[in-house]
Amino acid sequence: MNKPLTPCLIGILIAGMATSCIKIPTASVQLVTSLQTQGNSMHELNIILVNALFAEKKAQVSSFIQQEYTPSIIDNYFKKLPNLTFTKKETAEIIGSLIPEINKQKDDMLTALEQNRVKLVTRLDNDHIYFVTGSNALKDLLASAGKLQDANTKLDMNITKASGGKINMAAITKALDKLVVSGGDLSSKINSLYTDIDKILEN
């Protein structure tokens, strides 16, 4: 998922109009309004895509726990026991004793996904706030030459933040995929997810 281009377009408008002394056409305000509408739509789309990505990974976690992790845990547990024969009831009781720990691992994985989903959505929301504030400042700048200096300061600050906050969704997807692959310690993979997401958001 690519970063929307709208904040960058607003930035171009700043460079081309806000710092010049030429007469600004009234249609420029309409253009900024149009770009702002596009930015709002792209923000909504970004949120939908992030939520869809994490919903898919949560489903993969559930499938992984049920189809791979649980059978593996049960099989390894019985391999470690002496060569004994268990009744169906005894076997069911042994398996039942393993289920709470298996469910805990599943809950930990799902919690890690949810917390990092919220972290990403919050980042997108914050970036969008900067974009909205910056584009509103640009409209003020275009609409009133008397407010040029104040609008310019407010605009520069917020557009820089909006256009600078890039989120690498390919890297996010790769980090999520590592959580549901076979093999490895689940606790370590959960910790790695938190670390990977934080590093991606810092860049």
Distance CA 159, CA 137 (A): 10
| Predicted pLDDT at 117 | 93
pLDDT digit string (tens) for the chain, length 203 residues: 444 444 544 554 444 444 444 444 555 667 777 777 888 888 888 899 899 999 999 999 999 999 999 999 999 888 888 777 888 898 899 899 999 999 999 999 999 999 999 999 998 898 888 888 877 777 777 666 544 445 555 555 554 455 455 667 778 888 888 887 766 778 888 888 888 888 888 76
Distance CA 11, CA 147 (A): 19
Distance CA 106, CA 101 (A): 9
Collapse the DSSP code of 115 into the 3-class scheme (helix H, G, I; strand E, B; otherwise coil) and give the result: helix
**186-202 helix and 88-143 helix, angle to the nearest 10 degrees:** 0
CB 24 within 8 A of CB 138: no
pTM exceeds 0.95: no
Residues contacting residue 195 through CB under 8 Å, at least 6 positions apart:
none
- In 3D, which of 109, 128, 147, 152 has the Cα closest to residue 17? 152
| Predicted pLDDT at 27 | 57
CB 58 within 8 A of CB 109: no
Residues contacting residue 112 through CB under 8 Å, at least 6 positions apart:
179, 190, 193, 194
CB 197 within 8 A of CB 116: yes
CB 121 within 8 A of CB 51: yes
| Predicted pLDDT at 170 | 79
| Predicted pLDDT at 28 | 65
| Predicted pLDDT at 197 | 85
| Predicted pLDDT at 151 | 52
| Predicted pLDDT at 177 | 82
